[in-house]
Amino acid sequence: MQSTSKVRPGLAGRVSLAAVAGLCLAGAALATTAEAAPAHPGTSAAVHHSTRALPKCFVNQDGVNYRTGPGTRYPSLGHVNHGQGIWITGGTWGNNPVDGLWWDAGNLWGGANNVWIRRDFLNC
């Protein structure tokens, strides 16, 4: 039996191409993480979040600043003391061009999220 439906030539190809392009763009958007400076004062630089188990670290000195971004040019949000826990969320800035230090981003246990602390003040 012959089909009686009429399809314009090339329409199916254009629809398929549009669907594939849309899926590619959606996947790229999900896979992208921003590594930009904060848009508003008092907010942190973007941090990549993952569903895997996050590494935990502990602050190894008293009075350590936690900041909105990876470096001393970013404002301090406050201080933490020896023993404070932090989940490292994946944002790491190594060999910062301003201070030459390594910085890690994470969420303080019972405190602020998306904060940055110098790696030499952490035991991981």
Q: Which domain holds residue 60?
A: 1-124
Q: Tell me how many domains the chain contains.
A: 1
What is the SS3 string spanning the chain? CCCCCCCCCCHHHHHHHHHHHHHHHHHHHHHCCCCCCCCCCCCCCCCCCCCCCCCEEEECCCCEEEECCCCCCCCEEEEECCCCEEEEEEEEECCCCCCCCCEEEEEECCCCCCEEEEHHHEEC
The whole-number pLDDT of residue 92 equals 79
Half-sphere exposure for 53 (CA within 13 Å, toward CB): 3
Q: Which residues in 32-41 are b (16+ Cβ under 10 Å) and which e? A: eeeeeeeeee
The CA distance from 43 to 120, in Å, is 23
The whole-number pLDDT of residue 29 equals 36
Per-residue pLDDT of the chain (124 residues; tens, 9 = 90+): 555 545 445 544 444 434 434 444 444 333 333 334 444 444 445 554 444 678 999 999 999 999 999 989 999 999 999 999 999 997 777 766 667 789 999 999 999 999 999 999 999 9
Neighbours of 85 (CB within 10 A): 15
